[in-house]
Amino acid sequence: MKVRVKFAKYGCMKFIGHLDVMRFFQKAIRRAGIDVAYSTGYSPHQIMSFASPLGVGMYSNGEYMDIEVRTSLDVRTSLEVRTSLEAKAPAENVLMPQMSSAEMCRRLNEVSVPGIEILSVKALPESAGNAMASVAAARYTVYFKDPALNFHFLDSCLEDFLAQPAIMVTKETKKGISQMDLRLGIYECRVTADGSLEFLVDASSGGNIKPALLINALWRFAGRKRLSYFAGQSYAQEEELPLIALQQVREETYTNTGTAESPVFVPLDEVGEEF
């Protein structure tokens, strides 16, 4: 059975890279006593995949991991879950998980560390794609670490920025430097009442927009407005806004249940159900 785990990453854990997070969960799953499935072959490993690796230094309230757990007959399973499964197979042949989603969530939190919190555990339908292939968009909140600073200098120019037919930026990839148009991948962008910058952008494998690309495009577009707004700040004259001055938070990761022309974004855990 495929299970999707949603978790938050914050505090000192923001400095832990993706590979170490993956190793942490491999150990946490064993310590929690979850009967996870392993791959076959000479070097078996837990069947596990992550939606989208989080950059070092970023917080997140919406990270996702898919695992595959073994199943067994369990007469203690709730009547609601059994009824829904019996619609697909005879009762005597229904394979049920060895523990409920609430129990799995509780056990993982008990063996977790400060900075990683399990938020939900959901069973996925067989038709669901894996977490990484399902990612279509992500929502971010960005704010200055210095509480005296904010993004209100964008209030008078954000509408003009989004009205551009194209927003070209230079993107560095493994294959070299290329040009990328951000405009089609920006679904929402606004400055909140408290001066934070909030945006919903394309996070798919084909058009992934990293927050830094959008932030620096806005920084350059603001031009004179940010020069006067940040008068006296050492980085006001710089072409790009030093990301060390900001705290980036990935609020949620979405899949698209609509079409490419008319997307309908829903959180990745909404395609599953508790068990």
Q: What is the domain-level CATH number for residue 42?
A: 3.30.70.580
Are 220 and 196 contained in the same domain? yes
Are 143 and 125 contained in the same domain? no
Contact between 3 and 131 under an 8 Å Cβ cutoff? The reply is no
Determine phi and psi for 197, rounding to 5 degrees. -105, 125
Are 115 and 169 contained in the same domain? no
Rounded to two decimals, the pTM is: 0.87
Question: Domain residues for 162?
Answer: 135-271
pLDDT digits (tens, 9 = 90+) for 126-155: 888 889 999 999 999 999 999 999 999 999
Sign of CA dihedral 95, 269, 204, 187: positive
pLDDT digits (tens, 9 = 90+) for 118-132: 999 999 998 888 899
Place of tokens 């190793």: 23
Of 76, 105, 133, the domain-final residue: 133
Of 82, 105, 133, the domain-final residue: 133
Closest of 42, 53, 51 to residue 17, by C-alpha: 53
CA distance 239 to 242: 9
CA distance 152 to 242: 18
Of 133, 151, 168, the domain-final residue: 133
Are 121 and 164 contained in the same domain? no
